[in-house]
Every structure is written in C-alpha cells, then in structure tokens.
C-alpha cells in the first residue's frame, strides 16, 4: 500500500518534470516570437494598413521590433508601443523622430536607455509612425490630451 503510493507519487513527479521540460522546449525565444506569431496570438487586431504604414511595418520589424516587439507589443528589451502612454496626445509623432535620432534616457520603464537609431532614414521614420498610429487606432489607443 505505502509502496504503491510512493511509486505513483514518484511517477507523477516524473510526469510533471517531463511536462515542464516539454513546455520549456516549446516556449519560443523572443527571436522566434518576432518572426512567427500572428497578430492575434499577441492580442493585436491588424487593420488594413495604408501603403505608407505597410512600408513602416517593414522598417519597424527591421529596426524597432527587436526591442519594442512584433506589432509593438514589447519584449524583454523594450516597452510596448501599443500602450496608452504612447497615445498621440502623450507622445506626439515628433517623439518618435526624437527617440530614433537622439535615443531615449530610461524614464517610463526599467529597460534601460534606448540607443539612437541612425540607420533609419527620416522617410522610414515617417512610415514607422504611420504604422504605429494605424495599429494603435485599431487597438483602441486613441488621442487623449496630456495633463501634467
């Protein structure tokens, strides 16, 4: 009786360990998540993008998504831009240009500083802003006047 109980306890512990291992192996790295996951898996509704925003998506994926996550949903290196504090009333379009040109000192979060992104052209930045704004709009992040 005791023997049986101990054995079944051991095997359920083993099963749990195996299940945890399988989960760890299946859990995609951030890099994979950036490439593979569809917007819905990240809780994002993808609108029909304008041509400018579609170009912005490519530039965003190449230059910003490694920190700000696919569809701007954030990563372990940077904050989500699909967040109410980045609504156009709090962070106007110029904030994006400034961020890419000068970098950003850590102030809202605890990811550290954002380094400048000199490889991104002004034209690409305008496209990126368009992409972020269209995505924000489709996900309920709208202009709110900033109150200090």
Q: How far apart are CA 47 and CA 15, in angstroms?
A: 43
Question: Which residues in 6-110 belong to E strands, given as ranges?
Answer: none
When binding is defined by CB under 6 A, the residue of 31, 43, 89, 112 that contacts ligand HEC is: 112
Residues 51-110 that bind ligand HEC (CB under 6 A): 63-64, 66-68, 77-79, 91, 95-96, 99-100, 104, 106-109
Residue 77 or 144 with smaller CB distance to ligand HEC: 77
Angle, CA of 37, 106 and 43, to the nearest 5°:
20
How crowded is residue 60: how many other Cβ atoms within 10 Å of its Cβ?
Answer: 25
Residue 9 or 133 with smaller CB distance to ligand HEC: 133
Minimal distance, residue 14 CB to ligand HEC, in Å: 41
Q: Which residues lie near ligand HEC (CB under 6 A)?
A: 63-64, 66-68, 77-79, 91, 95-96, 99-100, 104, 106-109, 111-112, 114-115, 117, 120, 128
């Amino acid at each position: 009786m005791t023997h049986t109980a101990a054995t079944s306890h051991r095997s359920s512990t083993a099963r749990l360990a195996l299940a945890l291992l399988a989960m760890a192996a299946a859990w995609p790295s951030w890099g994979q998540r950036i490439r593979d996951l569809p917007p819905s898996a990240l809780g994002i509704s993808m609108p029909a993008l304008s041509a400018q925003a579609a170009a912005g998506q490519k530039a965003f994926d190449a230059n910003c998504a490694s920190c700000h996550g696919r569809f701007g949903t954030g990563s372990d290196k940077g904050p989500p831009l699909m967040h109410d504090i980045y609504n156009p009333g709090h962070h106007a379009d110029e904030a994006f240009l400034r961020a890419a040109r000068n970098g950003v000192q850590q102030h809202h979060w605890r990811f550290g500083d954002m380094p400048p992104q000199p490889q991104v052209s002004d034209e690409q930045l305008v496209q990126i802003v368009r992409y972020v704004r269209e995505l924000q709009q489709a996900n309920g992040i709208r202009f709110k006047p900033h109150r200090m």
